[in-house]
A and B are shown apart, each in its own frame.
Chain A
């Protein structure tokens, strides 16, 4: 009789451990999903801002057709692959980021444009959206790291493989321009 109780006890304890680990995995996976959605919101916001920016800038920048076209092209391309996986998407978005930063760099040559209230407001929005993209990417990657660790480490990996939790993909930007940024020292 005692043996039966012991067996029941062990089974119950194992079941509780299983449920706790399972719930932990679900929570992490949901966080990964949520933070991915957050990146998505910010990327969409950027798609929406670019036509406005183009409208405002067009009149001033007569000699920068190439730069402007590069931005529009990169935007359309990024929007096309927006339903693809994290890796492919990150590449397209990286292109768009660098096209935009080239555009904002040449703005320096147009003092009239820099005095335009509409442009200043747009620039603030664009800057902030870029920041939000990189911060949401930051948070997404941290969430993915934690989730992946949890699906690979003992003992939660047993639960993960039994219930079908798969590792997620990081959102890495691999654009040359962003990687080779000059180092600034503050000494």
Chain B
């Protein structure tokens, strides 16, 4: 049941191959037009792609994490977050514990990265961390872990690099074609092939304009599919679809955009970091399915299995399923209704906010001293004095 979701990757792989074909066609036309040799164009296109892919493969996760200014945490920094990640790691049967990062940003979002399940990281914004209770956090982390487990992270990274290469080549190609290339090309060619030349020019031009759009649509289609699958897996891991559903509800009501996200990294996040209010339900040009629909599907689930998710999805999409028949097992997986701890030991939102801000200060190497009067003193790392006076009640504290 767990491995079988890989069979769904066949569809994604076919789409990826489609993008690859686009890249090859672009290279072909570029070569034909500028160098009189299709091979040269192909070589250039593939070279650009290989270089970008290698960078993405080996450095992609660290680039992404440093771009979003994420800070790595240890177990003691935030035991609850660490435990929840470990729980989902166990539920998914992942072999290695992923690294955990916190992004200091009030926007609500989370993402997973890493080229293979043994070298993976999950990152969550401090805003989301303080907004979610334990069950909701479990749902979100389950979603991210299943991106790692299903190897979506690598697939999406490679797809976005392919897309980037296509956009890059098409952009430069079309500029040369329109402004510079045409003139120089005409002077160097012998008179015979004028008609054929013109046809190639027109085809190439149309193609340069269409290719990036088509590639982007393919990319978005792959991305949306993976989101649904990750939701289904999260429900299965946690046996509690309501957790993710109510987390998504909280995510959906916020409109804060993540400062450190950009277009290339958007599909990595749990919800689209650029969404605006009132986004259309079946938006083709979105990396993520609309949140309201994801919530509706999760809440319509009768059990926690892939089968139940598929049924719920079919209801929302007039009979079209999302999970391939090979991974639908007939067994029933009940939804968990009991939680041992109840709500007893669960910190409320204010406590969670304090806890999270404590972690963020500590991660920036600030020393926190709690005074007897209840004030918290944050001592910056470059503070050199041996003791400090509480500005609230005047007691002195040793550092």
Contacts and interface: CB of A to CB of B under 8 A. Distances in A.
Which of B90, B92, B338 gathers the greatest number of chain A CB atoms within 10 Å?
A: B90
Contacts of B345: 104, 107, 114, 120, 123-124, 127
Contacts of A138: 91, 239
Interface of B: 1-2, 79-80, 83-84, 86-88, 90-93, 134, 138, 237, 239, 242, 299, 331, 337-338, 340-342, 344-345
A182 B337 contact: yes
Nearest to A143: B93
B340 A114 contact: no
A123 B299 contact: no
A135 B237 contact: yes
A130 interface: yes
Contact of A142 (B1, B84, B242, B337): B1
Interface of chain A, main secondary structure:
helix
A31 B1 CA distance: 14
A128 B239 contact: no
Contact of A146 (B1, B338, B344): B1
Contacts of B338: 178, 181-182
Contact of A139 (B93, B138, B341): B93
B90 A139 contact: yes
Interface in A138-152: 138-139, 142-143, 145-146
A142 B340 contact: no
A38 B138 CA distance: 19
Interface string A10-24: 000000000000000
B90 A135 contact: yes
A112 interface: no
B91 to A, nearest CB: 4
A101 B342 CA distance: 9
B87 A131 contact: yes
Contacts of B83: 124-125, 128, 131-132
A57 interface: no
A143 B87 CA distance: 17
Contact of A184 (B1, B2, B331, B337): B337
A142 B344 contact: no
A105 interface: yes
B358 to A, nearest CB: 13
Contacts of B134: 127
B294 to A, nearest CB: 16
Range for the number of chain A residues in contact with chain B: 35 or more
Given A124-B79, A132-B87, A135-B90, A142 B2 contact: yes
A136 interface: yes
Contact of A132 (B90, B342, B344): B90
A104 B341 contact: yes
Which of B1, B87, B134, B331 gathers the greatest number of chain A CB atoms within 10 Å?
A: B87
A174 to B, nearest CB: 15
Contacts of A139: 2, 90-93
A35 interface: yes
Nearest to A120: B345
Contacts of A42: 90
Given A132-B90, A135-B90, A139-B90, A123 B341 contact: yes
Contact of B340 (A125, A127, A186): A127
Contacts of A90: none
Given A130-B341, A139-B93, 15 more contacts: A101-B340, A104-B344, A105-B344, A107-B344, A126-B341, A127-B340, A127-B345, A128-B84, A128-B86, A131-B87, A135-B88, A135-B91, A136-B90, A139-B91, A186-B299
Contact of A127 (B88, B93, B331, B341): B341
A121 interface: yes
Contacts of A104: 340-342, 344-345
A115 B274 CA distance: 41
Given A124-B83, A138-B239, A181-B337, A105 B1 contact: no
Interface string A92-131: 0000010011001101100000100000110111111011
A62 interface: no
Contacts of B242: 186
A144 to B, nearest CB: 12
Interface string A163-187: 0000000000000001001111010
Contact of A124 (B2, B80, B299): B80
28 contacts: A38-B90, A104-B340, A104-B341, A105-B344, A107-B344, A123-B345, A124-B80, A124-B345, A125-B79, A126-B341, A127-B134, A127-B341, A128-B79, A128-B80, A128-B83, A130-B340, A131-B340, A132-B86, A132-B90, A135-B87, A135-B88, A135-B237, A139-B2, A145-B1, A145-B331, A183-B337, A186-B242, A186-B299
Nearest to B245: A186
A162 B142 CA distance: 40
A128 B93 contact: no
B337 A100 contact: no
B87 A128 contact: yes
Contacts of B299: 186
A105 B342 contact: yes
A35 B138 CA distance: 21
A128 B91 CA distance: 12
A107 B342 CA distance: 11
